[in-house]
Amino acid sequence: MKKVLNKSALILAALSLPFAVHASDSQYVPGLEGIKASVAPPPGVYYRGYIANYSADKNEALPDDSKVSATALVNRAIWVTPQKFLGGDVILDAIVPLVNTDIDVGGQNIGERTGLASSYASGLLAWHGDRWDTIAGVGYYFNETGDYDENRAASAGRGYDSLSFTLGGNVKLNKAGDIDLSALGTYEVPKADGLDEELMVEWGLSKSYGLLDVGLVGYNTFETGDGDEKRNALGLSMAYFSPPLLLGGDVAIYKEYSNENTFEGNLIRASLTKAF
């Protein structure tokens, strides 16, 4: 049994479990955004807080009665500046995530830990049309800010930096402008030898009822190069924004299906946005 547990711990470490644990070598977690994810707000300062829980008990590479659970509180500051570049709004943002991870293998707990994951900073450009929006940018994950211990499978940090590229778009599908299709792509490049790059796409199809948006959301991920991990998820989301309060929120639930070479589970996420 000890040999099996030691082998499983090595497998878990190789899967790079921290922050939602279903992410492979990537530090971005798909599913945090959904409906109209590629629509940037007007110039101003915003706070966006996310709370997310990922849980899974299905992984063909691990013994029976193995499961993982991670809960993350993500704090994000966004500044949509009044400046323009190439015709787009210049946006700066920073993210600091706090993560609790709990791992069981073969019915035995092998790690539970709470700590800071890698902080993130990015610059983006956002363009707007009458019936479309586009966003593009580049960001960086800073390993030095994360709580990482190579001897702890449940560490919140990853132990390496990552470079991230973002490109997304949103289009209104009807003349009334109340049906939107949005897609947000992220391509992440871990800055360490032997790690796999990954393409992650989040999408949402939504219908607006005044200030309320409801719709389908999902994500699909693909490792590139020698990596062979794939993740697919489908879910439901609801979002609302109150102009008098300058406050908005949304909730979503995702069910993963037909994943390959990784855990398969559920993601529940809620977020709160405050404009200043």
| pLDDT tens sequence across 54-72 | 998 887 777 777 888 899 9
pLDDT tens-digit readout, 81-108: 999 999 999 999 999 999 998 888 887 8
Q: Domain count of the chain?
A: 1
Position 12 pLDDT exceeds 80? no
Please indicate whether residue 177 or residue 13 has the higher confidence score (pLDDT).
Answer: 177
Average model confidence (pLDDT) across the chain: 88
Which domain range does residue 132 map to?
A: 2-275
Name all contacts of 239-244 with Cβ < 8 Å and 24+ positions apart.
239/34, 239/35, 239/36, 239/206, 239/212, 239/213, 239/214, 240/211, 240/212, 240/213, 241/211, 241/273, 242/211, 243/211
pLDDT the model gives residue 13: 36
237-250: average pLDDT:
95
Confidence of residue 39 (pLDDT cuts 50, 70, 90): very high
| CATH number of the domain within which 269 lies | 2.40.128.130
Please indicate whether residue 5 or residue 80 has the higher confidence score (pLDDT).
Answer: 80
pTM: 0.86
Position 212 pLDDT exceeds 90? yes
pLDDT tens-digit readout, 118-162: 999 999 999 999 999 999 999 999 998 888 777 777 777 888 999
